Amino acid sequence: MSVFVSKLKVAILGFGTVGSSVARILCDLAPEGIELTHIYNRNIDRKRVDWVPSSVQWTEDFDTVLNSDVSILLELVGGLDPAGSWVRRALEAGKSVVTANKKLIAFHGIELEKLARSRNAHLRYGAAVAGGIPVIPGLQQGLAGDQVTRIEGILNGTCNFILSKMEEGAEFAEVLKEAQGHGYAEADPTEDVDGFDARAKLVILSRLALRADIDPNEVPCRSIREVSAIDFDYARELDCTIRQIARAELRGGDVLASVGPMLVPRASPLAWSRGTENTVLVGGHYGGDVVFSGHGAGGHPTAVAVVSDVIGIAHGSRAIDLPSKKTAIGGEFLLRHSIRFVVRDQPGIIAEIALALAEQRINIHAISQKPGYGKDSLPFVVTVEPCAASALHRALTRIGNLTCLIEKPFDLQILEPEERV
């Protein structure tokens, strides 16, 4: 016998890649206790499909949805505005909201959760991080009993696709174009390749796992645009690959956090992700390391997380409230770096580099130069011992004045256990 007295009526806001996938799952699976009644989108006529039941009302007027008897709004438009306004108005009206909007949750999640509680409504965002991988439910429930101290993850499927292809020998520009052709990357890929998408997700995970409310704008981001195919050649010499890594760690009363390309040892689970996969490693004080991995991008995986949140609400489950506190971004990771130089060969280059590094108390660990390149454009790599990124930046600023340089020096941190000093 069904436990549902009546069905919860659901509206989809945004009928793009994720919204249409959510509708497909709701129509195909027809989860018990849930009924899709409204679909909102701009220029709605171009979005209509014949596989949606005729009982569903299509509209391009948000107020039509808000003023209906819909119980749950699925916000799948993204961005801060107008999506943020819609979510607030829905919660104020006592309607529950399920969203995949990582930017909105990163910047305004705490405020919106308070609003939801005050109206006895639900705010669920399991799809906001890592698509269909249950990272957020895992943190809220499976790891709530641990003291998480560290998060490291590949949180952006677009960057992982690009870097995976570059590992095979392709260059950034051609792979970006391919990613855009597949629909993995937007026409303007800034949010993905410059790290802002992964940063928003890292902020959400830090709030849930580390119980630290950090300002997204304080998390330093580095772009993957400067990564070249040759960097993967040198990475192999270190038994590493290159991935965009988002990481945060509790250190004293502060949080260390960053997003950007890093050299990742092949023995790490983070090196195993290919294509659009996401991987998140969570380090707990009591439970040790836990790895979440799977398809983090695409309409269907993300839709699975959205529908799972809807089913959870329909079954009366409530998200665990994990209180966080405002925490500053402070300090720097002390890690080895690999620095790629491209120069016109001449005597004294290594001596000048060594002097600039020594002035910042940075020691050279190794120098590697692959054969087969002409003296007029000679690439080589200098690996340095653990240091702060700010100190290395000062050294590279001085080195950048050398007339032999053809390209700006490019450094990558090496993801490995830190040398504590």
Question: Which residues are known catalytic residues?
Answer: 201
Distances (CA, A) of 48 to 26, 40, 57, 75, 380: 16, 10, 10, 18, 56
- Partner residues linked to 35 by β-bridges: 9
Radius of gyration (C-alpha) of the chain in whole angstroms: 24
C-alpha to C-alpha distance for 207 and 111, rounded to whole angstroms: 13
Concatenating the DSSP letter of every residue in 261-292 gives EEEEETTSGGGS--TTEEEEEEEETTTEEEEE
Q: In this structure, are strands 148-154 and 240-251 parallel, antiparallel, or unpaired?
A: antiparallel
Residue identified by tokens 């966080």 is 324
Buried b (16+ CB within 10 A) or exposed e, 177-208: eebeeeebbeeebebbbbbbbbbbbbbbbbbb
Q: Tell me how far apart the alpha carbons of residues 247 and 156 are, in angstroms, rounded to a whole number.
A: 13
Pairing, β 72-75 against β 57-59? unpaired
3-state secondary structure of 74: strand
Q: Are 205 and 196 in contact (CB under 8 A)?
A: no
Quote the tokens at residue 32.
């018990």
| CB-CB neighbours of 386 under 10 Å | 19
- Please answer whether residues 211 and 248 qualify as being in contact, where contact means their C-beta atoms are separated by less than 8 angstroms: no
